[in-house]
Structures are given as C-alpha cells and as structure tokens.
Chains A and B, each alone.
Chain A
C-alpha cells in the first residue's frame, strides 16, 4: 500500500476533473477570443466553470473572479497592484501581513520593502494564528493593504478572517486573504466575510496544477500584473487556459458541494489518526482541533528528527512533510515553527500529515502502524532515549551547535 498524506502541498487531480478537461485539448481547442465557431465552441464550458467558481465561494455577480496561473500569481498581483495604485500613485506607504504567510506573500513583501514600502510582519500566538486585535493595532492612516492567510499550510490553523475583515472595512483599508488552504477544506463565503481580494489555487482541491484564481470584490480597480490582449475583461491578459479553467470549475464545485459532510468524514479519519499517534509517549500536536482545517495534523515526536522520520515513512510508502531545518535545501529552520516558538523542538521534530477526501480508513490504519514502527526504530537509535549517562563532564548543557 502507498499512502499520500501531503495534501497541503498538492492533491491528486480528481479523475472526474481530468475527464472534464479532456475534450478541450484536441477536440475543442479554439481560442475563446476568436469569432469563429472553433473559438466560441468553448464558451458554454467556460461559462459553466465561471458559474461553478462563483457558486463555490458565493461571490456576487458584481464581483470578479479572475483566472490566473496559480495562487503565487494571484498574491503577487494583489501586492504589486496595490503598491502601484495606492503607494506609487497614492498617499499610502504601508502594508500589514504576518510572519507565517506563504513565500509568495513574504518574498513579494521583501521585494516591495526594497522599493521603499514599509511592511509590518505580525507575529502569531502559541496557537499559530494572528489575533484580530493585533492586526487592528498596526493599521495606520498610511496602511494601504492588510494581507492575512485564511488558514495555515503548516499547521492547518484557521485565522480570524471574519473579524479582521470587519476591522479593515471599518478602517477603510483594503483586505486580502490567501485562501489557498481554506477553499475546498472549510466553507469560504465571500458574501458573509468581508475580503477585497482572495487568492486560491486549483491543485489544492483536486484540480490541476498551473491554475488559480483571484476574487475581487465589487470588481474594484487593481492594476494588472500581466498586460496584453485584454483577456478576462482586461484584468489578466493571456489566452484563456480553457481545459484548466474547466477543470478548476468542476474541482471547485466538487470540493465545496456538501462540504460540511465531506469535512466531517475527513475530520473523523484525521481525529482517529491523531488520537492514535498521540498515544505514543512524548508527543504533542499543534493547535486546537476545532480551529484547524479538518485534514491537517502537525505532530511533534520527541527524540525523532523530522527528516529521519520522513525518510522512514517514505520507506514505508507514506508521503508526509516536515518543517525540520534538516530537510530543507538551505538548512534554514521553518519560519512558521519558529514563529509558534514551541521551544525550538518543533522546528526539528514536526511532522505534518494532511489528508484528503480520497484518504481511506485502510490507509489510516496502515499509516498508524507504520508511523508507530518508524518512531520505535528511530527512538531506539535516538540519543534522547539512551540509558547510559554520559561520563562526568561529557554532558551537553545547552545547544552548542546552531544558533538560529
């Protein structure tokens, strides 16, 4: 058996989605902008996909949902567009975000800082979420934009987006949320929650890679990132990626229809897995379950280093993820883990398991067994569990190696 439990990184494309995309490669391949029937033949499917996307997040007909190449593009577009419109060509100079955003937000903010923009990176609490009052206290008259993720990729923790939205509305500040980890995992309703801009990505909810979207409330102004042939009402140029838009539309519908029911099923499996793993001694998981995306577990196993654990899981055909510094190409400790500040240990022992609606009970059973086996083997090797004490003078008082 092989078990994929890294669904916060990417998901399997639903075979139904692949099937829906199929005709738009070699059969209905016209450019939707063309006047002839080869072009217009794709319009019904595109209209349907647009409807599916609007319905999935409950967008108003006056709102825009623009298809982009990925959420990285959507995030770049919002940050750079707001910079051009309200900072370069306006009287604002400040952006508020958090320390735990995706690199597509953080790196873009760093870039904007180099261009002279002031950026505030808000810290998270011990639950790994930024608190609404913290956001409120950092908004100034010069603040152009607040950008806060809807849910964390690392921990699954859900941020108080509704409250932050109200604060921004009240203060008259634009609000963007990177909802990549929220759409398809928890209900996201833009008619109930105030967001000016919201990014999402198809491959996180069983759609194809290479397509995402940006929701824009009331079709408000935002300078384009990509200039060109005036596609999508001039908002985002580039020939429409017909098969992928069709695929994303269906994927969004499948992921959000009956979401409460689907969530409950995933949550039951997740909770069972988490409960079983927490039976192991010296383990803890991050964040209140009730305020977490229902598919995510971030668990710390004392005495077992994350990359080593990932290695053993991989040998058992289980795909998971770790924030351990050792597993990253640059050896840098994971910013989210450090921001949560769980005694540095999480930065080295955190294992993330993220389920999907395709995860089966048999897979959970298999994972429980092999996870426990891996912990047993690695703890048997681990110095943290050794019995013979060091020779007098041979102890380690504190970390003498890396000072992050």
Chain B
C-alpha cells in the first residue's frame, strides 16, 4: 500500500487502446456455416469453450483447407466482457493463415501480447488476464476435433497457471534452483499466480487441479528430504560411526532417535525428557538426560523406561551407550 493505492485505478482505464477498439468493433465476429464452407471445398470446425452460467463463453469457427490443413478463415462468437471479446477477436486473427498444427502453439500470452499498444505495457490489468485464458483452450479443442484426437494430447505438460502458462515442471525447477520460499517469490520469478490468481490456493476464481501453495510445500518438503539424505550420505561416507561424530552431531542424532521412538510415549503419559550432555567415559558414551513432567519421579523412569531408552539408543547408534538420568 502506498500513494498509488489510495485511489484504485479504474478497471477500464487500464485497457489498451487495442482492447477498447476491438471491443467496440470486433473484426472477426460472426459465423461461418457448414454449407458455405463445404461449397468452397473446405472443412468447418466449430468448438465451444465456457458457458454463459460461468460468465465467459466463446465459440470458435475454423474454415480449414483439408489439403494443406491451413485455416483459411476464422470467426468467433463470445458471451463475455470487453476483454473477452477483444481477446477472442485477436485469437481468430492469429489463427488465420496458420496450419492447425501451428495454431495449437498459440498461447494466451501471445493473445495478450497482440493486444498491447506497446510491447512493455500490459493490455489488460492482471485480474482480467483470465478473460483471454480461453483462447488456448478453445484452440486446442478445435484442433482436437479436426485431427480426431483428444485435445489433452496437445498438452505436453501439466499447466498450473493457465494465464501465464507455467508448467508444473518449470515451477518445481525454479523453486529448487532459486530456493524460493514464498508464493510471492514464485510469482516474481515465473509470473505464475500473477494474473487471475486462481492457481495460488483453493477458493479463488476457479477451481484448479494444482495450486502453488501445495506445489511449494511439496517441493520444499522434497528439498528438505534431499538435504537430509545428503547429510546422511555424507555421514555414511565419513564412517558413520556415532563415536566419530562431533558433540553437536551426537546430540542431534540422539534427539532424532528419541523423537522417533521414545518421546511420543513419554508425552502420552504426561511427561517428557531432555538431553543434558554427552560424555566419553572409558570406552562408554554416557548420555545424561533429565526427565520432565510426569516422568520426573515416576517409578518406571529408573527401570523400565530407562531400559527402553537405553536399548533403543544402543540399537540405533552405538552399543557403547549408557543413559544416565540426573
């Protein structure tokens, strides 16, 4: 928040002149009918995407020369706001003259770029980027119909952010490579989540299969596991013996074993324990611990529980361990 936010920008003022012009006077609005196309020896493909009940709908018409697979003419019909009409118009413009195979490569970013007045100023405010999202989807669908294949087959990758067309693999790589910790950082690096924001987390404008928050959490978890594995491997290379570890490493190792095998049972009984010190003593490794909570003074803490702790540590770390409660 700052001075610029005190009076929010007017939505319509942020549209490029091209958007405004095409909204007022779309060039490729209209229909192509099957009979006409056939008369010209061409094949007509008509594909719908979206529906009135969801706020945006587009119908794309392709007249294709079957000999060359070239889209000789294209028109659209759209139920949608100004930017939806303008972006549909540019989409058809971009399709004309291309082969079906080439047209499939048209992305939403291409459509948005074509709507810009100058290359550096976005044609629409970020939240309206959503309206041109349909371009890629409807093109894919039309191409699938023409080629007789599932439209999903054009998807080589899982797309997480439809607006900026950022794939799952790209996101994972960028997070790992740059050690990204927040969704904002992901948006800064990849533009994913910077437009309609649906892909950031559930509950946005539309439901998604993948969300940036989950991808970030999963990738971070993967990174942590990799790190731990690397540390463990390094330890193994260094001999891996508990006796050879530094004191800090020993305390961490003991803590890890306690956490994994012992602590939950102590907590269940209303107690806990902490490691006070570790000392080498005549070939033994003495681990000094202190009982906390209900464990403190419990009869079993000097017998059964103590035996359980000691035997676990002996098994997991070193047979020379002795546990001494203080």
Q: Which residues of A contact B (CB under 8 A)?
A: 302-308, 311, 314-315, 324-327, 329-333, 343-345, 347-349, 380-396, 398-404
| Set A348, A388, A400: member contacting B46, Cβ < 8 A | A388
Query: Is B265 close to A, CB under 8 A?
Result: no
| Inter-subunit contact B59/A383 (CB<8 Å) | yes
A interface, by DSSP: helix, strand, loop or mixed?
loop
Residue among B26, B33, B53 with the highest chain A CB neighbour number at 10 A: B53
| Set A326, A332, A396, A404: member contacting B80, Cβ < 8 A | A326
| Inter-subunit contact B55/A326 (CB<8 Å) | yes
A-B contact pairs, 25 of them (CB 8 A): A303-B79, A305-B79, A306-B81, A308-B82, A326-B55, A326-B128, A329-B127, A348-B55, A381-B29, A381-B77, A381-B85, A383-B77, A383-B79, A384-B79, A386-B31, A387-B31, A388-B32, A388-B46, A389-B46, A394-B48, A394-B145, A396-B50, A401-B50, A402-B55, A404-B205
Given the contacts A331-B196, A345-B53, A396-B50, A391 and B45 also touching, CB distance less than 8 Å = yes
Given the contacts A329-B8, A381-B26, A381-B78, A394 and B53 also touching, CB distance less than 8 Å = no
- A-B pair count, CB < 8 Å, reads 146
In the complex, chain A residues whose CB is within 8 Å of the CB of B141: 394
Beta-carbon nearest neighbor of A343 in chain B = B53
| Inter-subunit contact A391/B44 (CB<8 Å) | yes
In the complex, chain B residues whose CB is within 8 Å of the CB of A330: 127
Beta-carbon nearest neighbor of B85 in chain A = A381
Q: State A344–B198 Cα separation when bound (angstroms).
A: 19
| Set A304, A331, A389, A394: member contacting B205, Cβ < 8 A | A331
In the complex, chain B residues whose CB is within 8 Å of the CB of A324: 55, 81
| Inter-subunit contact A401/B56 (CB<8 Å) | yes
Query: Is B242 close to A, CB under 8 A?
Result: no
Q: State A305–B79 Cα separation when bound (angstroms).
A: 6
In the complex, chain B residues whose CB is within 8 Å of the CB of A349: 52
Q: State A305–B47 Cα separation when bound (angstroms).
A: 20
Query: Is B211 close to A, CB under 8 A?
Result: no
| Set B29, B57, B79, B142: member contacting A394, Cβ < 8 A | B142
Distance in Å from the Cβ of B114 to the closest Cβ of chain A? 19
| Set A390, A399, A400: member contacting B59, Cβ < 8 A | A390
- Chain B 70-91, CB within 8 Å of chain A: the 1/0 string? 0000001111111011000000
Given the contacts A330-B127, A343-B53, A399-B54, A390 and B46 also touching, CB distance less than 8 Å = yes
Q: State A332–B33 Cα separation when bound (angstroms).
A: 36
Query: Is B51 close to A, CB under 8 A?
Result: yes
Q: State A305–B81 Cα separation when bound (angstroms).
A: 6
Query: Is B161 close to A, CB under 8 A?
Result: no
In the complex, chain B residues whose CB is within 8 Å of the CB of A398: 51, 53
Q: State A381–B31 Cα separation when bound (angstroms).
A: 9
Distance in Å from the Cβ of A181 to the closest Cβ of chain B? 23
| Inter-subunit contact A383/B57 (CB<8 Å) | yes
| Inter-subunit contact B44/A326 (CB<8 Å) | no
Query: Is B61 close to A, CB under 8 A?
Result: yes
Distance in Å from the Cβ of B129 to the closest Cβ of chain A? 10
Q: State A303–B11 Cα separation when bound (angstroms).
A: 22
